[in-house]
A = this chain, B = another copy of it.
Amino acid sequence: MNAPETLHIQNGLGCGPMLLNELSPNRTHRQQVFECVRAAGAISRIDVAKSLGISPGSVTAIVTDLMEAELLYETDETRRDSGRGRPPVALSVSPRARYVVGVKLSDHSHTAVATDFAGNTLGSASLQTTPKRRPMAEAVAETQELLDRVLRDAGLAPADISAMAIGLPGIVDHASGRVPWCPLIAEENCAMRAALEDALPFAVHIDNDANMVTIAELWFGAGRARSDFAVVTIENGLGMGLVTQNQVFRGGQGQGLELGHTKVQMDGALCRCGRRGCLEAYVADYALEREAATALLTKATEEDGDRPVLQALFKSAKAGHAPAQAIFQRAGRYLAAGLANIIQLFDPPLILISGARMQYDYLYADEVLAATREMTAQAGRAPVEIEIHTWGDLVWAQGAAALALQNLTDELLRNQRVTA
């Protein structure tokens, strides 16, 4: 071996990381104050100062500025805790300062919500579709139709909307706004965000649909009080999201967290992606359905809705049909392995198995969670909390709205004070 025994610093080249000008997304006090008020709903200046550790004088200055910009206002409801002394004045986000829309495209139905600046849902809409790969232009047209409907429901005009975010399945690059691959869109690597921004009069953000659930958990759900957690969502595919240090982690190049395509078995089951042994080939809806088609006796009925085969499989299993139970049990074992791998690699204190269709409780049975814990038990590792969250169909769209709000407020507050 002729590797050098020590590393000599070449003359004048120094040592240490070389990329230093990447600006870390550091939040200004203006942003922190605003976000503190938004997180609290209603909070006095003194409590903002205390919880952020900045001086009351600075809070007054910033709040005055934000009130002039009409982003905050003083609530009448004066909450008095101790009785004595000057009563605190509660601050809240002005709901009507701005409005945003969140959209989710998926295989059977697209959904949308409109929210005000404080995050209140004002209206929703959905559009039945078929799970086909359509030209991007058609997806844009569907989005416009959905936008019309949700605006009508919310009583808003297009000119009222300041930003929109849209979540879609597949590989989505949030930063560039491109969609390398999506099961709903015919073209590969299309410039989806640019197309939407051309068609619509406001800023558009796009992201992977699993990140929509993640952001929904972060903004409205169990993730609000957590700085680190993972989200796993099981639908037709298997999605995952991660929040580390209060930030959504998107992978080194924006295409990470493809849990569904991690390999859990050499030469294993065939996956939609054409390869073998991917986790999703054991756990996702389509994986269960194809096993059901092979082994199931009972026929699906009309009333079984969206996923008739899967519903029938579930009913059989519940009724005690052993082959149906075995299908769910194997999926559960593989899911446990996938969760264990998440824990080994990302080490989150909390995993949320979250989504709109969490009814197949075989997958989340105590045995599965126990197996996960057993596969990761080790000295000094605190057992990971695992929670199952069943949300309404609108979670995804609401997460998208939160993403739009996040980008919008960053935009509004990042720069200097709003000049009068």
Contacts and interface: CB of A to CB of B under 8 A. Distances in A.
Interface of A: 1, 3-22, 24-27, 32, 35-42, 51-53, 77, 92-93, 113, 118-121, 124, 171, 173, 178-181, 188-189, 216, 218-221, 223-230, 244-246, 249, 251-259, 261-266, 273, 275, 277, 333-334, 337, 340-341, 344-349, 356, 359, 375-376, 378-382, 390-395, 398, 402, 405-406
Contacts of A345: 251, 256-259, 262, 345-346
B17 A180 contact: no
Contacts of A262: 340-341, 344-345
A189 B379 contact: yes
Contact residues of A: prevailing secondary structure: loop
B15 A51 contact: no
A253 B349 contact: yes
Contacts of A381: 171, 180, 255
Contacts of A359: 1
A283 to B, nearest CB: 13
A38 B53 contact: no
Given A15-B38, A21-B53, A266-B334, 11 more contacts: A3-B356, A3-B391, A12-B40, A12-B42, A16-B38, A19-B246, A20-B32, A230-B252, A253-B348, A255-B347, A266-B337
Most buried by B among A180, A181, A340, A344: A344
Given A255-B347, A392-B5, A375 B275 contact: yes
Contacts of A376: 261
A41 B15 CA distance: 7
A9 B189 contact: no
Contacts of A171: 378-381
A53 to B, nearest CB: 6
A15 B257 contact: no
A398 B6 contact: yes
Contact of A225 (B18, B119, B264): B18
A406 B345 CA distance: 25
Contacts of A226: 19
A379 to B, nearest CB: 4
Contacts of A26: 24, 26
Contacts of A92: 14
